[in-house]
């Protein structure tokens, strides 16, 4: 499988390329946002690893432009601590996952593998899990054709779960995707919102003790 790494710090880029090649990936490197965008829009990659802070064009802009171009390659965004402000809340830019620097290579590899296992077109606007449908254009959630009313936060959480059906999502991942622009979110907050969703949508969201949550067909 072929990957693209867009990272302006040459040392990190080289280390990622070396590590990923040892895992039998083919790796292209780009050192600024424009180059990254050019590569990503002309070549077919399994996953794009995209640094947030880049010369010429930042990662959020690259991501947004690719999604506007209807390119749905999974994107793993790299951020440094402290960059997780509203810039990253451009999560709505269409990145699929986030990883904060410094990270262990094993963690990056696990995220990349998870992204390659996912079906393409996860940026689609109509999502379906079992008898539940969610439409990101009109914010309508229906179960068995019955409309379910959700708060904004509940909707965001449900959308994130539904984009990763039958996949265990940790509280940290959920926080990074749903609450990234808010300070001091506790893992407990995730539990509370999962609880709200469960009351409205029984038997769909499962707790995997010690790991996190997943959404899927009721057992
Ligand atoms: Ca950078």
Asked if residue 111 and residue 6 are part of one domain, the reply reads yes
**Chain centre distance of CA 187:** 18
Cα distances from 25 to residues 57, 118, 184, 192, in angstroms, run 26, 17, 37, 40
Name every residue whose Cβ is closer than 8 Å to that of residue 17 and which is 6 or more positions away in sequence. 5, 27, 29
**Structure letter (DSSP) for residue 189:** H
What's the CATH code of the domain at 49?
3.40.50.2300
Check whether residue 60 and residue 27 sit in a common domain: yes
The CA 190 to ligand 1 mean position distance, Å, reads: 30
Q: How many domains does the chain have?
A: 2
* CATH code assigned at 181: 1.10.10.10
Same domain, 90 and 161: no
What is the CA(33)–ligand 1 centre distance, in A? 10
Name the pTM for this structure. 0.57
Q: Domain check: are 96 and 186 in the same one?
A: no
Which residue, of 94, 121, 148, is where some domain finishes?
121
**CA-CA distance, 211 to 170, in Å (whole number)?**
6
Residue owning tokens 């054709």: 145
User: Mind listing the pLDDT tens digit for each residue in 85-140?
Assistant: 544 554 566 788 888 888 899 999 999 988 887 665 456 778 899 999 998 878 89
Distance 36 CA to ligand 1 centre (A): 12
Rounded to the nearest angstrom, the distance between the alpha carbon of 6 and the centre of ligand 1 is 9
Per the structure, the complete domain to which residue 158 belongs is given by 126-215
Distance 51 CA to ligand 1 centre (A): 6
State yes or no: cis peptide before 102, omega within 30 of 0.
Answer: yes
CB atoms closer than 10 angstroms to residue 124: 12
Cα(76) to ligand 1 centroid in Å equals 14
Structure tokens at 107: 């963690």
Q: How far apart are CA 219 and CA 211, in angstroms?
A: 19
- Distance in Å from the first CA to the final CA of the chain: 34
Same domain, 40 and 112: yes
Range from 2-11, 64-73, 82-91, 187-196 carrying the lowest mean pLDDT: 82-91
Determine the distance separating the centroid of ligand 1 and the alpha carbon of 31, expressed in angstroms: 9
């Amino acid at each position: 499988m072929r990957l693209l790494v867009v990272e302006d710090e040459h040392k990190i880029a080289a280390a990622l390329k070396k590590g990923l090649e040892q895992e039998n990936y083919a790796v292209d490197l780009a050192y600024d946002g424009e180059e990254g965008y050019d590569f990503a829009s002309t070549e077919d990659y399994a996953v794009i690893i995209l640094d947030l802070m880049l010369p010429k064009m930042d990662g959020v802009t690259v991501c947004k432009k690719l999604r506007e171009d209807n390119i749905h390659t999974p994107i793993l965004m790299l951020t440094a601590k402290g960059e997780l402000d509203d810039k990253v809340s451009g999560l709505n830019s269409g990145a699929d996952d986030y990883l904060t620097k410094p990270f262990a290579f094993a963690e990056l590899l696990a995220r990349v593998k998870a992204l390659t296992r996912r079906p393409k077109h996860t940026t689609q606007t109509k999502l379906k899990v079992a008898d539940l449908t969610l439409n990101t254009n009109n914010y309508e959630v229906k179960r068995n054709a019955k409309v379910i009313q959700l708060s904004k936060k509940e909707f965001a959480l449900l959308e994130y779960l539904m984009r990763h059906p039958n996949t265990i999502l940790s509280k940290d991942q959920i926080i990074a995707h749903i609450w990234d622009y808010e300070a001091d979110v506790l893992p407990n907050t995730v539990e509370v919102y999962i609880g709200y969703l469960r009351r409205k949508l029984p038997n769909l969201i499962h707790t995997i003790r010690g790991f996190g949550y997943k959404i899927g067909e009721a057992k």
